[in-house]
Chains A and B, each alone.
Chain A
Amino acid sequence: MAFQCRLSGATIHSLKMATIPISSSSSRFIFRTLPQTLNHALFSRHTPPKAPPFSVLIRAFSAQAVVAAPAAEISDDKVVKPQWKAAIDFKWIRDNKEAVATNIKSRNSNANLELVLELYDKMLNLQKEVERLRGERNNVANKMKGKLEPSERQKLVEEGKNLKEALTTLEEDLINLRDELQFEAQCIPNMTHPDVPIGGEDSSKLRNMVGSPLSFDFLVKDHLQIGKELDLFDFDAAAEVSGSKFYYLKNEAVMMEMALVNWTLTEVMKKGFTPLTTPEIVRSSVVEKCGFQPRGENTQVYSIEDSDQCLIGTAEIPVGGIHMDSIVSESSLPLKYVAFSHCFRTEAGAAGTATRGLYRVHQFSKVEMFIFCKQEESDMYHEELIKIEEDLFSSLGLHYKTLDMATGDLGAPAYRKFDVEAWMPGLGRYGEISSASNCTDYQSRRLGIRYRPSESPSTTSNKGKTNQAAPKFVHTLNATACAVPRMLVCLLENFQQEDGSVIIPDPLRPFMGGIEAIYPKSR
């Protein structure tokens, strides 16, 4: 499902610090430079949201000469402290900065690569400095062990004290620097598969086309009208009870939802996927680690009052979280899950025509596939996932096209994304019914999911111990097997008959008590 990721980050155009000699007491400078514009085209083409302003508390440090100009604006001294750290490979980013920069641009991301590299450099230097000071302090401590003249001892004590103070300051600076580096670096989107077309929505490439639009020799109705006539849903009562974009399903529509979920789970289980149901309330940190922004403006995420919890917008989140902070054995891979859950989305900022009826709703049922695998196998599993999806939709008799989404449409976590758009005759256009993303190690670096490669037989250390290979990050993939409301739109609109009935596709009938069609009810 296209659940665009938004990453907002206040970009600080320059860090300005004053020169301070090491021996004097440190002074604090509070800097905040508000960015002039925040380009969040990464998230939404039509409504670029504003990111909440951030400020950074930076203590002056070290004897490095820097620009002396004062900060442009000073306001709240909130420390940027991410609650968790992504295991970002800074060295790799630095070594491949041209590729990373090009990628950031083609993704329309607002990540500030220059700043990340600058902070990384500073951090390395600061680390060295901290280590150097530690070394000196150890020297002093060692010297103090021997026999000394009182005046000498006193000097050493002084020196030791100064070193300790300076070290404390630098160590705090290092922590803050690491936090800021994390914050900026987390904005950097995943790299992109070389075959992905570069550009906006229109540049997406057609991968596959199955069937063709059904022709009708009577006036085609849209799903809302069909639903009204067959007494299948109620949006009006739901608007009173809950608000717009909520609905009740009634009568055969309830059975269709059950049949769709049941049939989809059964089919995907045959391919070796473990079925799951998941919590629909999760900690917001898990949402962030999957690449979503629970508390940005125009966020898609509902938050629970007085808690750090949110409602999930997709089962991708609780499933990704299952193996959080762990190392799995290579032999357990691939781990393939098919999860059924309800999903909740605020759909903030999604005004317009593409919101009618079941097409865009706040709550819906979805069956989601999720794979954890070895790095070298993710492309292969991406192909497997899209094939499973296409087989499902073909079985139902839908006409659809599969697209290789262009860079501007990818969203931060995806390395590559295939969307399936099915023909919806009532709407008169194609509508997205499914999305399959290969997130490579973007999510696993945040969720902390690694695997230990099997011991290789060739290398043993001199001492005769077998080498344990360093753990690697898994690759994660997710794909929509069935998003119920969009499927209902497809089924109702495509299989409507002139007499007002709707034919049920063969595969679903056994899961609906054998019903062959939904007929108008006599009143």
Chain B
Amino acid sequence: MKGKLEPSERQKLVEEGKNLKEGLTTLEEDLINLRDELQLEAQCIPNMTHPDVPIGGEDSSKLRNVVGSPLSFDFPVKDHLQIGKELDLFDFDAAAEVSGSKFYYLKNEAVMLEIALVNWTLTEVMKKSFTPLTTPEIVRSSVVEKCGFQPRGENTQVYSIEDSDQCLIGTAEIPVGGIHMDSIVSESSLPLKYVAFSHCFRTEAGAAGTATRGLYRVHQFSKVEMFILCKQEESDMYHDELIKIEEDLFSSLGLHYKTLDMATGDLGAPAYRKFDVEAWMPGLGRYGEISSASNCTDYQSRRLGIRYRPSESPTTSKKGKTNQATPKFVHTLNATACAVPRMLVCLLENFQQEDGSVIIPKPLRPFMGGIEAIYPKSR
């Protein structure tokens, strides 16, 4: 229509332009809606799976490692609840009145044990060059979603804050994953290794049944979490590094445990591969999960928008400009270094003595003022 035209020709073109514009507006809206629907459906697709991961349900998980064997006791073994009661270490009853079931107060030496566990774990992991962090425990729900959790699903594990778009975190994985949200990091800065201490809050909706006694399943707990952002080709290697750190920690404390390569049915959408550590809990009479290490490859980073710019390759274009390589998505991994309540169950149940006392593992003693054991208190 820029050139010189007959009025009738111009008129035809104007009509045609108008029709095209309307047609376009409609199609563009359709495109937006279609993209949204595509996103919604596609986001449901779980991460791919490592070729070595066993296929099947919980029972198909493969044993990777066993350390130690169940301690034998020549006296009747108590569970952690009974030990805690006798040693005045926790109070579930008062917490049930004040807050509800599955809440608790830690008392006396249990407080010092929690602090020692956290302190020792942070110190050990820092030696492996992880940057220590404490994190916000209230986060925007969009960040929770980007990490692969469903804050507002039915039976959600996530507590939401009234009149806001914020939630409580169930794990430090979420606020740590969020640190580098929507950014491009330099390749030279990778790997970024964080060890984060936070309180964690979980509704445990839909978790009725036997595996809920005492400290085993609670709504609030302290946890030290490791998180790695790395180059794509290195995530398998860091997954092995993380599980090794975990195993070293648990071995140092003298725990008997087994490490499992979790089967496909047990992975959860973000994980490419997941190793769980289950420790022997004599009071419960079975193994209980104390830790989990997941390689999420680029599942979370594609949602959180975290990429890295590979170092410039020596190939230059014809015009003499150096090519800036396209940014790639980082791979993210997370692993529990210490989930305090489960550790308390392990320590109390495994190291109980016939006289009712509990021996403190040596590595923790310097972080507890040198205490060697928890003794029954004279009444």
Contact B181 A240 (CB under 8 A): yes
Q: Which residues of A contact B190 (CB under 8 A)?
A: none
Partner of B107, one of A240, A242, A275, A321: A275
Contact A277 B106 (CB under 8 A): yes
In the A-B complex, list the 9 residue pairs whose CB atoms are closest, starting with the nearest: A321-B98, A241-B178, A246-B136, A242-B136, A279-B103, A303-B162, A275-B111, A254-B132, A279-B99
* CB-nearest residue of chain A to B180: A237
Contact B97 A321 (CB under 8 A): yes
Q: Which residues of B contact A303 (CB under 8 A)?
A: 161-163
A266 CA / B111 CA spacing, docked (Å): 11
A203 to chain B, nearest CB (A): 36
**Known contacts A281-B219, A340-B111; A324 and B98 CB within 8 A of each other:** yes
A238 CA / B180 CA spacing, docked (Å): 10
Q: Which of B159-186 contact A (CB under 8 A)?
A: 159-163, 166, 168, 175, 178-182
Q: Which residues of B contact A261 (CB under 8 A)?
A: 115
Q: Which residues of A contact B136 (CB under 8 A)?
A: 238, 241-242, 246-248, 362-363
Selecting from B14-22, B36-44, B67-75, B116-124, the interface stretch reads B116-124
Q: 15 A-B contacts, Cβ less than 8 Å apart?
A: A237-B180, A238-B175, A242-B143, A249-B133, A251-B132, A254-B132, A262-B119, A281-B103, A281-B159, A283-B99, A303-B163, A304-B159, A362-B136, A363-B137, A513-B123
Q: Which residues of B contact A286 (CB under 8 A)?
A: 98-99
Which of B99, B118, B132, B159 lies at the interface centre, i.e. has the most chain A CB atoms within 10 A of its CB? B99
Q: Chain A, 49-85, contact with B by CB distance < 8 Å: what is the 0/1 string?
A: 0000000000000000000000000000000000000
A427 CA / B163 CA spacing, docked (Å): 33
A270 to chain B, nearest CB (A): 11
A306 CA / B167 CA spacing, docked (Å): 13
- Count the B residues whose beta carbon is within 8 Å of the partner chain — how many? 51
The reply to whether the CB of A318 lies closer than 8 angstroms to some CB of chain B is: yes
A247 CA / B105 CA spacing, docked (Å): 26
Interface of A: prevailing SS: mixed
* CB-nearest residue of chain B to A278: B105
The reply to whether the CB of B140 lies closer than 8 angstroms to some CB of chain A is: yes
Partner of B94, one of A257, A266, A321: A321
Q: Which of B108-158 contact A (CB under 8 A)?
A: 108, 111-112, 114-115, 118-119, 122-123, 131-140, 143
Q: Which residues of A contact B91 (CB under 8 A)?
A: 322
A322 CA / B107 CA spacing, docked (Å): 12
Count of A-B contacts with CB under 8 A?
Answer: 149
Interface of B: prevailing SS: mixed
The reply to whether the CB of B95 lies closer than 8 angstroms to some CB of chain A is: yes
Q: Which residues of A contact B108 (CB under 8 A)?
A: 274-275
Which of B91, B119, B136, B197 lies at the interface centre, i.e. has the most chain A CB atoms within 10 A of its CB? B136
A276 CA / B100 CA spacing, docked (Å): 18
* CB-nearest residue of chain A to B95: A279
A283 CA / B168 CA spacing, docked (Å): 16
The reply to whether the CB of B201 lies closer than 8 angstroms to some CB of chain A is: yes
Q: Which of B263-284 contact A (CB under 8 A)?
A: none
* CB-nearest residue of chain B to A257: B134
A276 CA / B114 CA spacing, docked (Å): 11
**Known contacts A265-B115, A276-B111, A277-B105; A258 and B122 CB within 8 A of each other:** yes
Contact A241 B175 (CB under 8 A): yes
Contact A281 B160 (CB under 8 A): no
* CB-nearest residue of chain A to B178: A241
Contact B140 A242 (CB under 8 A): yes
Partner of B119, one of A248, A258, A276, A282: A258
Contact A305 B160 (CB under 8 A): yes
**Known contacts A241-B178, A305-B162; A282 and B111 CB within 8 A of each other:** no
